[in-house]
């Protein structure tokens, strides 16, 4: 028996080591795929060993779940478009939270027949935390999915009474949590805990605007890890605790990076639901200067240094391969081409890096905004592809703007700026952009992929 326990513990150590190695490899694009595979192997080891460590009468439902989940996951991974990746990641976070909630619920349901004398107050407290954090993660992720997929409005929903309602939920957590631990046999407190968790997740996420969605995804990822850790404590599963801690810690670190990139504190984002309604920002007016793609070619043909600033619009147009082809033509023409990546560009962390890696853009040509801003005047042309908020000078020029103080890529300081968009409307955050009206800015309207392909054809005809 001791030898079996030793083997199981060694397998858990192996799984944890694979998780840590996988996370390390995920930190660089060249090794990310290998890191993903290693992490998946670690999870397989952890799941198999956990199943063997428990007395399970029948594996039929477990194997059926493996088959259905594996088949659906493989199909979804192959078929998902890059524009749908942020909302899919958000749903993954939600599924993790839902799994933790159900595990806590299952733990209480099992004890309902055997009696609650075997559960200490500490265990019941971890069960409450598992259900609360899991429920908040699930409902919050569903709302984030709705905002990212366009099924809901992207703007923050802040109404009179939201602050008081949010505070009431927090007080409710304390009261219901205490009653749950005191009277676990009463199912009313279990259902009240679940209801409070789900409703608070909705309130906390609807009050966060589109500009903060990358932060929300990273934060919900952290929540799913914390929920898993609490679930591991509730059922005394070591590898679940370790996995939850790794996910929770890495998600929190990523969230902190996102917040710094937006010059926001984590508490500022978290407490959006406690904010008072604010008046709409002053509307910016001016004349947009339209430039046909054919004329943009002549400017690019004479350029010696070009900077590309990708945004979500590039993902929508699937223009990354066309951008890579244009880069090759410009370099053959004696021009240097670089890419500026803002940490919150797109709608999830690393969105633009993934897109450009898919098009085989060399990683050493990708630069952070702190690297390109000091030499922005040296660029002959900055091509902004579907980005809006990450190049918005209102962050520096307009104190009344919702994004004032946010570090941005200062494209407006370049010699010429081409903005490739379908229209001159505001971006996902709903904030007007004065860059569109600058004297050195030209709007090249239309689908970004079609626009770039038109410029590529001009190079071929030249």
CA distance 410 to 374: 9
| Short-list 97, 107, 111, CA closest to 127 | 107
Q: Which residues contact 434 (CB under 8 A, 6 or more apart)?
A: 284, 286, 392, 393, 394, 397, 398
| CA–CA separation, 349 and 355 (whole Å) | 12
Active site residues: 389
Could you tell me the sign of the dihedral formed by the alpha carbons of 388, 389, 394, 396, in that order?
negative
**H or E segment to which residue 125 belongs:** helix 121-149
Separation CA 280–CA 181 (nearest Å): 45
The phi, psi pair for 202, rounded to 5°, reads -65, -50
Residue 291 φ then ψ, to 5°: -130, 125
| Cβ(373)–Cβ(341) below 8 Å | no
End-to-end C-alpha distance for the chain, whole angstroms? 78
Rg (CA), the chain: 25
Q: How many residues does the chain have?
A: 462
Report phi then psi at 342, rounded to 5.
Answer: -85, 140
Q: Which residue has the tokens 């309130």?
A: 203
Residue 389: Cβ within 10 Å count: 26
**Dihedral class, residue 24 (left if φ above 0, else alpha if ψ from -120 to 50, else beta):** alpha
Show the DSSP H helices in 236-349 as ranges. 238-261, 266-270, 293-302, 312-317, 320-332
- Residue 182 makes CB contacts below 8 A (sequence gap 6+) with none
Q: What is the DSSP letter of 282?
A: P
DSSP letters for 186-209: -HHHHHHHHHHHHHHHHHHHHTS-
| Distance between CA atoms of residues 203 and 143, nearest Å | 9
Core vs surface per residue 222-237: b (16+ CB within 10 A) or e: bbbbbbbbbbbbbbeb
């Amino acid at each position: 028996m001791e030898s079996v326990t030793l083997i199981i513990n060694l397998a858990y150590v192996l799984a944890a080591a694979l998780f840590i190695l996988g996370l390390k490899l995920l930190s660089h694009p060249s090794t990310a795929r290998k890191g993903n595979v290693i992490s998946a192997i670690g999870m397989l080891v952890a799941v198999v060993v956990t199943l063997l460590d428990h007395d399970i009468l029948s594996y039929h439902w477990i194997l059926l779940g493996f088959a259905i989940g594996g088949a659906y996951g493989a199909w979804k991974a192959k078929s998902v478009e890059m524009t749908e990746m942020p909302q899919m990641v958000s749903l993954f976070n939600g599924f993790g939270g839902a799994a933790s909630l159900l595990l806590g619920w299952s733990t209480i349901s099992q004890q309902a027949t055997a009696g609650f004398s075997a559960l200490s107050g500490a265990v019941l407290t971890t069960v409450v935390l598992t259900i609360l954090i899991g429920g908040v993660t699930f409902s919050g992720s569903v709302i984030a999915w709705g905002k990212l997929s366009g099924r809901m409005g992207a703007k923050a929903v802040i109404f009179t009474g939201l602050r008081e309602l949010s505070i009431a939920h927090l007080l409710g957590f304390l009261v219901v949590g205490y009653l749950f631990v005191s009277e676990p046999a009463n199912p009313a407190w279990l259902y009240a805990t679940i209801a409070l968790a789900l409703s608070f997740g909705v309130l906390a996420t609807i009050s966060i605007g589109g500009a903060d969605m990358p932060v929300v995804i990273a934060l919900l990822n952290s929540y799913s890890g914390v929920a898993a850790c609490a679930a591991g404590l509730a059922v005394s599963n070591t590898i679940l605790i370790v996995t939850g801690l790794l996910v929770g810690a890495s998600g929190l670190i990523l969230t902190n990076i996102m917040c710094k990139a937006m010059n926001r504190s984590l508490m500022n984002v978290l407490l959006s639901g406690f904010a008072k309604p604010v008046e709409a920002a002053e509307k910016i007016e001016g004349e947009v200067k339209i430039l046909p793609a054919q004329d943009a070619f002549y400017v690019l043909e004479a350029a010696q240094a070009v900077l590309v600033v990708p945004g979500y619009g590039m993902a929508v147009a699937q223009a990354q391969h066309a951008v890579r082809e244009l880069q090759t033509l410009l370099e053959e023409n004696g021009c240097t081409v670089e890419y500026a990546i803002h940490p919150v560009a797109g709608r999830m962390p690393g969105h633009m890096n993934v897109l450009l890696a898919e098009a085989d853009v060399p990683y050493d040509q990708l630069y952070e905004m702190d690297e390109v801003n000091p030499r922005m005047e040296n660029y002959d042309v900055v091509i902004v592809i579907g980005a809006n908020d990450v190049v918005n000078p209102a962050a520096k020029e307009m104190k009344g703007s919702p994004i004032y103080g946010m570090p941005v890529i200062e494209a407006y300081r370049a010699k010429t700026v081409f903005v490739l968009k379908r229209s001159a409307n505001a971006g996902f955050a709903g904030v007007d952009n004065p860059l569109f009206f600058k004297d050195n800015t030209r709007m090249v309207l239309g689908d970004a992929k079609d626009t770039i392909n038109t410029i590529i054809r001009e190079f071929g005809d030249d």
